[in-house]
Structure 1
Amino acid sequence: MAESRKTQRRTTQEAPTSTKTTDLPNDLPTLFSNLRQIILKKAKDDEPIDSTIFQYIELIKNKIRDLTKLTQPTEIFDALQATLKLYINDILSIKNALNILSSSLLQEIFTTLDDAEENLDLAGVFQNNPTYARTVCFRSFELLALSIITDFLNEKCPIELFSHTARILQGIIYRILTTVECIVFKKNELQNFIPNIRLLLEYVDRNKQNVHHSNMPELIKAILNFIWSLVDDTSLVPTLIETNCPEYVLRWISMEDLPLTIQRVCLHIIENLARHEKGVKVLNNANCLAILLNFKKRVLDPNKTNQDDVYPELRLVYCMAVSLLAEPKENREDLDYLRKILDQLMQLAVDAGQSVNYKYGGFHVSEPILVLTKLCVHDEILKYVLNESNVKGMEAKTKIEFFCKLLTKFRGALASDDDLDQLTLIALFNILWSISFHDEYIDELKSYPKFLITVKSLVIDDGANTVEQYIPRPLSSLTKAANGVLWNLDENNPGINKKSKLFMIILLCFTILARATRSTVDPDTQALNQSGTSRVHRMHVMVSYSHADSDFCHQFVDALQKDKRLDIWVDFAYCHTEDLWEEIGEAIEKADLLLFLMSKDYQDSKSCRQEVMYAKDSLKKRFIPIYVKKEFTATGWLGVRIVGPQYIRFGKKPFDETVNELMKLIFEDKTQQENKPSSTTENKPPSVTETKRPSVTETKPVETTTQQKKPEENNLTKPNENNLTKPDENNLTKLDEKNQPESNAKPLKKPVEKWTKKDITQWFSDNQIDQQLSNIYDFKYGTDLLLYGECLRPDWQIEYNDVKQRYHEKYQKQLYRDQFVPFVRAVNELQTLKPKSKSKSKLCTIS
């Protein structure tokens, strides 16, 4: 990001002549020390430069030139930097000798140093030796603390030395800029230099009005590039916040009279600050969104058609910053050209991801990937990016292949100290987790063996759990995201081995026979036995929440636990880490009721999405949506899934009163569900307005569940004239009629116990069960089907894992849960649909 130094105009001064030869010392420290003493004496007598001073200056310049003859570039630069420090400390620190120090003859010492340094390929040296680059970086930071530099920044520098000191400071800053590109900073590593960085910002702030649009001073430009380079490292954002950097850049970008060059750098700095949660908090507290909107109206809107390189870049960075700072509802004004921005983001990700150093146009690949990860929690945006975004020069055949291959390239990030590489890896896992929620992408994800091996290896890698990389709030930890991907791909579902499963089935069969035998006991004896062993049944309730709402959740759970009829499961009480999805999945399976504590953070959480989809889509569990804040309304994937059930909203009434309403809903609704007949119809069909194509920002809650397909949100399609494609009214009517939910259950013509193989085959067909799945089974009698149903009752997931393996062996393809669930549902319905008779069989008494 640093720009090369411009050649400085140098003035010459006639040197004094002398025929006298003096024996002078041969080492630079002694030469500088002696020269200092001579200048001090001359300053006391107020004398100008004489032949002695001139001889020392010439000898020092020759010694500096001799340094360039050293063998190693690192030796040369070390000597040059040590000489610069001598020059600053021994010579420029002299007081009351301005007539000598301001002389161009004396200042040629620095010019000679500068020329010698420019002849070195320092960028190549630092690139090949990051350890040395780190040493030079911190050595240069120490130069910023020298008194002559701090005096200059505090405007205490004599006017005669102002230009010369500015050149020296500019050289130090450019040197740091060159090293920053090659090193990785650690957390709080620049804490000791906060006062010096703050001084640089204060200097720019005081002198910003002196900057002309046509000629911005090189020092101001160097300082701004310096701050930009530092904040580009996410780990340094907390340090930059302590320097008051956010306050300054927001002030500068708000000023209409500052040149666009400065405002451009400010916008980049804001975007980098927003990549860290602390930066987001500070910027939002300072009303950053309003400031950015004003910048857009003032600078970007009048230049919508301006295709100069700077304006497309500014529009992209603006949208990246707003996306990192804003909630979707606050982001609507930017959506007119969101598709173009998504195209740019994806193009930037591809260009940077395919480059050798993962950088392109000043951006690290982590920057567009991080923004895409946050935006792609919205399914419409995700599908647009994957299916329609316009990208050129991509080596991969599809966007999914690009993300998968890029993830494998960053596999080694855990073994390095590079925070940006680790952040990139975590962001890639999160965006691939978002992709894995959609059935249409599952097969492609599973077709990349290197990707699957990488994900599985990182799940069991201890380094994935111990990495100390800062994780921005929208992202989940690497381990959680990797486990989430595997779960959605059916590569990591909880199950038990075949022997244990077979034992469980046998045990269940014996239990069925025992129950049937007990049914012959006379009613009086049976009632007596039941009265002695009965106990109050506690409802198993699982609470699903976002960790951002943990304070509310603790208060909520404490209130629920006062009711002894409820057995509450919540992860902070049972899980030791946040990554134990198996425990959470088991809790969902055992729950009689799930309570979804919904908020914006809940909707944006892929972990919460996984819990909701497993509970509602896969297991068809009973749930109650609970809004933890009065102003939030669920949309998108969450809005689709909560249509129908009555919900509870906290915030409008006192907390205890709302809890009482929830308790009433829990138990009254439970009683109604127990009393009403079973039905496959969960909710009323959507109306035409409910099925209207959603906007790019939000999806209006619509219930469109079917028996064999998970709820999906509409795709974001490319429109004409940059507007969303409007839905066809006739098609919507047809869609409404098509989505009328109907139960496949039909009255039975004869008892299940009397069914033959032909009846069972017809039953599979009537319930629209996958034909290939039905071919796996060989039930000959109805009692076989009923007995199998009893084996499914405790945990149908166990049977699903086994059938899935048999299905794959037979057909060489995957059996998904939404293909198996209709079969489980139909088997469970057999008990309800059996015709009533006066004489009950023993199997009919199974409970």
Structure 2
Amino acid sequence: MASSDRIPSRSEDSENTIFTDIAPMSEEFIDFPITTIENQDTSICQQLFDKFEYFKKETAMLSDSETMKKRLNQSISLWNELLNMANNVNKQNKFCFDANRALVTKVFSDINETDLFNNDNDFSRQIFFGYLDLLNTSEIQQFLTTLAPSTLADAIRESNIYILLFILSTLCRSIIFLDSDIADQYNPLLNAMRVHVDQKLQTTVLQQHANERLISVHQRILLLLWDSSDRTVVVPSLLRTGFGKSVIEWLNYPTLTDTARRPIVSIVHNLSRHDNGVDELNKYGAIETINQMQQLDSVRQSTMLLINTMALALLSTPNQIKADPTGTKPILDQLLQITINASIAEKYRYNGFHVSEPLAVLVKLFVDDTTFDYVMNQAETHPPSNPISTIKLFSDLLISFHVKLKEKNRLEQFTFIALFNILWSISFHEVYHHTLKQHIELMDIIQNVAKYDCQIIIEQYVPRLMQSVKKAADGILFNLSLEIPSITIPLVHPISAQQKPLVMLSYSHVNNDFCDKILEILDQKTDLFDVWIDKRCCKNSVDIWESIAKGIKNSDLIICIISSEYLTSKACRQEIIYAKDRLNKRFLPVYLGKPNISDWLDIRLAEFKYVRFQNTHLKLDERKVEELLSTVVEFISPGHATQNNITIRHHHTSSFSHELPRTEVIRSQSTLTTSQPVEIVENRNKPILKWTQDDIHYWFLQHNICSEIRDMYQFKTGAQMITYAECLKDGWQKQYERYAPRYVQRYPDKELLEHEFALFTSALKQLLSK
């Protein structure tokens, strides 16, 4: 978020009027003939003042863009000479120093009124760093780190620094930074700025009143940091110079005023948009600090409440989000409202927020199904929203930003990635499949991204909470049961050609270190089985997902390393769904500690024996290691599948799609009711563990169970139904209490009636007897 002055704050008036203040001052100085210092002794400054007088005459007419560029570069060069002469200022020539500063400031002000900076990004970047270099000197850095400057030269430097900081903030909002822009050469300047702000916040207590103005250098530094940190590519440079620690310390200062707090809150939010920022801020207790700040009346009644909540979402782990999934429902309403308003606003910005900012937070929050259901079904917006309008909002935005990809704008690329990840999250919920499929232009883009990803070059930094557009596109098509153009899986070798069983490792790359430990353990048994893991088997793969799909198909056992990160990874979720729902593979869950298990995973893996490791940062418990190995050997031993009446291999399948079901069910808009025509072909002898989704739909119809319950549970296999039936042995009331609130969230105008739920659970229990 940038300090765009669209957000009400005490800094708003000063931001809007600074050039208004400068203009008359500049005219006053500029109209004064600089060379009329006849009564002064010849000074070493005189030659410089003569240069300024000549430059003033040349700038009287700024016509074409090339002339403006030339004059602006000349003004920066003259400004540099002026700053170098600061030690020669005295009472007689101070007015000339001020007049010359006003002249070069007016040159920028006049050119800023044109479209030059917006139309020529390369030139804007060049000018930005030209001004930044004026500050990147030992004299300026010494001034910033001196607690109480008192000389006339210091006064000259302070006035120039203030204007330069404002110019940098203005330019910062219109240029595109590159990875290498804020190089180490600027570290001393950034560090001096940080020290200056720290000193001032500790020693200054500002008197707050209705017309408080931002007039100090340290507040101007905070606004520049606010604007620059809005460019995610700049965040690592700020972290290298200690701002991650400092911003949290500043928020804890008891004398901090609302005026100073406002930019710091936004800096924290901007830093948290980068994974390195999340890690650094959390080292210094960012979440606790923000939670304490949320209790302040001045924060709760301002825009800072929304910004703090957005930062908390980005800083929190999945378990922390689930513990307090929404914070407050009005915050979720605001996030969706900002997205709606920004989608139709100029440059996709509304109230200071670019549309990508609420989208990035929604990507993170959508790991919690309760939050997801609220945003899709209950969020209060103007105009009112519903699932169809919300899906259309995200879809239309994706189409708009797909067109902009060719411009290579990193912010637009990031927005495109975030939208793909949001639509991927939506596609996991079957109730929205029909709406997604109806959007033909959206489906065309998703198909093209999946098929021609090599032509879409995205260089934008992607945080770990998101996946690439290629993986998201494949995931969406898979969830919608549509053909994935990039995946053409050939026939797997027959069983006789596979000499040893194959064990696959499924894990989140965040847990790479622990995965390496498990891999080292499994490698001890290579005489009994082979191991498939992406880091070994996908090195030369053009299409990673295609290789993973082949690995899943060929595997006899899938070891999934389940952590909080695994549960929130859409890619990991995709692997589980494909392996269990489509191929009915066997799993060995390996838990890292005690993550809060999501329903989508629990319903698929509850039937399998698991191993749990605690304190995974230490040497692994030898007893658990032995338990892991013995369980793997047990799973892959001949006859194990027969004992459990589970089909292991599906090597005859040559594509992603199911075998066509024998029971044909006619659907309308992805819902099925008992009043719809259904051609029923009974298949009473078919084992429950071989049931397809259509068999399950028929079972619900046969037992007169309402379609809302069916859609809420979304059973994919008969094995899932058996597993859930086992949970009902202790009585159905606990399950009713658990699912009744979710039912209301999913269907706000209905309630889960006890007799209907009892009918459902009774029918499930009958399955156990079969």
Q: Which range, TM-score by smaller chain?
A: 0.7 to 0.9
Please list, as runs of the form range in 1=range in 2, the aligned pairs for 1:222-371 lying within 5 A after superposition: 222-297=220-295, 299=296, 304=300, 306=301, 311=302, 313-331=303-321, 334-335=324-325, 337-371=327-361
Alpha-carbon deviation of 1:212? 0.9
Structure 1, 659-668 or 269-278: larger mean CA deviation:
659-668
CA distance in 2, matches of 1:430, 1:237: 23
Superimposed CA distance per residue, residues 403-443 of structure 1 (whole angstroms, 9 cap, x where no aligned partner)? 11111111145433322111111111111111111211112
The partner residue of 1:202 within 191, 195, 207 is 195
Residue in 2 that maps onto 1:592: 556
Please list, as runs of the form range in 1=range in 2, the aligned pairs for 1:434-453 lying within 5 A after superposition: 434-453=425-444
Letter in 2 for 1:251: E
The partner residue of 1:417 within 380, 383, 408 is 408
Please list, as runs of the form range in 1=range in 2, the aligned pairs for 1:463-542 lying within 5 A after superposition: 463=454, 466-493=457-484, 538-542=500-504
In structure 2, do the counterparts of structure 1 residues 91 and 357 end up closer, same or farther at CA, with 3 Å as the change threshold?
A: closer
CA distance in 1, matches of 2:594, 2:329: 28
CA distance in 2, matches of 1:457, 1:495: 10
Contact 1:350 1:394 in 2 (8 A): no
CA distance in 2, matches of 1:359, 1:135: 25
Percent identity of paired positions between Structure 1 and Structure 2: 26
CA distance in 2, matches of 1:573, 1:593: 17
CA distance in 2, matches of 1:184, 1:695: 50
Superimposed CA distance per residue, residues 64-103 of structure 1 (whole angstroms, 9 cap, x where no aligned partner)? 255131313663464255346425525761545522243x
CA distance in 2, matches of 1:174, 1:295: 28
Residue in 2 that maps onto 1:178: 170
Residue in 1 that maps onto 2:102: 111
Alpha-carbon deviation of 1:400? 0.9
Contact 1:436 1:485 in 2 (8 A): yes
Contact 1:188 1:239 in 2 (8 A): no
In structure 2, do the counterparts of structure 1 residues 442 and 398 end up closer, same or farther at CA, with 3 Å as the change threshold?
A: same
Contact 1:464 1:478 in 2 (8 A): no
CA distance in 2, matches of 1:14, 1:375: 55
Please list, as runs of the form range in 1=range in 2, the aligned pairs for 1:361-760 lying within 5 A after superposition: 361-393=351-383, 398-463=389-454, 466-493=457-484, 538-563=500-525, 564-576=527-539, 577=541, 579-627=543-591, 629-651=592-614, 654-668=620-634, 671=639, 673-675=641-643, 680=688, 682-683=722-723, 684-686=726-728, 687-693=732-738, 716=745, 733-740=758-765, 742=767
In structure 2, do the counterparts of structure 1 residues 545 and 587 end up closer, same or farther at CA, with 3 Å as the change threshold?
A: same
Letter in 2 for 1:284: N
Letter in 1 for 2:261: Q
Letter in 1 for 2:178: K
Letter in 1 for 2:308: Y
Residue in 2 that maps onto 1:772: none
Letter in 1 for 2:589: P
Superimposed CA distance per residue, residues 319-343 of structure 1 (whole angstroms, 9 cap, x where no aligned partner)? 1111111114334675564322111
Letter in 2 for 1:39: S
In structure 2, do the counterparts of structure 1 residues 584 and 34 end up closer, same or farther at CA, with 3 Å as the change threshold?
A: farther
Letter in 2 for 1:614: Y
Residue in 2 that maps onto 1:756: none
Superimposed CA distance per residue, residues 458-485 of structure 1 (whole angstroms, 9 cap, x where no aligned partner)? 2333556753321101111221112111
In structure 2, do the counterparts of structure 1 residues 336 and 370 end up closer, same or farther at CA, with 3 Å as the change threshold?
A: closer
In structure 2, do the counterparts of structure 1 residues 426 and 80 end up closer, same or farther at CA, with 3 Å as the change threshold?
A: closer
The partner residue of 2:160 within 168, 189, 193 is 168
Alpha-carbon deviation of 1:609? 0.5
Letter in 2 for 1:618: R
Contact 2:26 2:106 in 1 (8 A): no
The partner residue of 1:212 within 206, 212, 215 is 206
Letter in 2 for 1:442: H
Residue in 2 that maps onto 1:39: 43
Letter in 1 for 2:198: D
SS in 1 for 2:448: helix
Residue in 2 that maps onto 1:136: 127
Alpha-carbon deviation of 1:117? 4.2
Larger-Rg structure? 1
> 5+ residue gaps in structure 2?
5-14, 647-686, 689-718
SS in 2 for 1:98: coil
CA distance in 2, matches of 1:494, 1:118: 53
Alpha-carbon deviation of 1:283? 0.8
Superimposed CA distance per residue, residues 656-709 of structure 1 (whole angstroms, 9 cap, x where no aligned partner)? 42232234334556656523567636321434324533699xxxxxxxxxxxxx
2:64 equivalent to 1:72: yes
In structure 2, do the counterparts of structure 1 residues 735 and 611 end up closer, same or farther at CA, with 3 Å as the change threshold?
A: same
CA distance in 2, matches of 1:676, 1:333: 37
TM-score, reference length from structure 2 = 0.76
Superimposed CA distance per residue, residues 751-793 of structure 1 (whole angstroms, 9 cap, x where no aligned partner)? xxxxxxxxxxxxxxxxxxxxxxxxxxxxxxxxxxxxxxxxxxx
CA distance in 2, matches of 1:556, 1:89: 63
CA distance in 2, matches of 1:428, 1:90: 49
In structure 2, do the counterparts of structure 1 residues 421 and 56 end up closer, same or farther at CA, with 3 Å as the change threshold?
A: closer
Contact 1:376 1:382 in 2 (8 A): yes
CA distance in 2, matches of 1:632, 1:534: 39
Superimposed CA distance per residue, residues 116-157 of structure 1 (whole angstroms, 9 cap, x where no aligned partner)? 543444463211222221221111111112455334323385
Letter in 2 for 1:581: W
CA distance in 2, matches of 1:741, 1:428: 44
Residue in 2 that maps onto 1:831: none
In structure 2, do the counterparts of structure 1 residues 355 and 244 end up closer, same or farther at CA, with 3 Å as the change threshold?
A: same
Contact 1:427 1:475 in 2 (8 A): yes
CA distance in 2, matches of 1:123, 1:739: 72
In structure 2, do the counterparts of structure 1 residues 33 and 144 end up closer, same or farther at CA, with 3 Å as the change threshold?
A: farther
In structure 2, do the counterparts of structure 1 residues 336 and 398 end up closer, same or farther at CA, with 3 Å as the change threshold?
A: closer
In structure 2, do the counterparts of structure 1 residues 345 and 13 end up closer, same or farther at CA, with 3 Å as the change threshold?
A: closer
In structure 2, do the counterparts of structure 1 residues 411 and 141 end up closer, same or farther at CA, with 3 Å as the change threshold?
A: same
Structure 1, 469-478 or 203-212: larger mean CA deviation:
203-212
Structure 1, 735-744 or 398-407: larger mean CA deviation:
735-744
The partner residue of 1:100 within 92, 103, 107 is 92
Letter in 2 for 1:288: A
In structure 2, do the counterparts of structure 1 residues 72 and 654 end up closer, same or farther at CA, with 3 Å as the change threshold?
A: closer
Alpha-carbon deviation of 1:568? 2.8
In structure 2, do the counterparts of structure 1 residues 536 and 244 end up closer, same or farther at CA, with 3 Å as the change threshold?
A: closer
SS in 2 for 1:398: helix
Contact 1:61 1:112 in 2 (8 A): no
In structure 2, do the counterparts of structure 1 residues 83 and 419 end up closer, same or farther at CA, with 3 Å as the change threshold?
A: closer
In structure 2, do the counterparts of structure 1 residues 12 and 210 end up closer, same or farther at CA, with 3 Å as the change threshold?
A: farther
In structure 2, do the counterparts of structure 1 residues 607 and 741 end up closer, same or farther at CA, with 3 Å as the change threshold?
A: farther
Alpha-carbon deviation of 1:248? 1.9
Letter in 1 for 2:246: Y
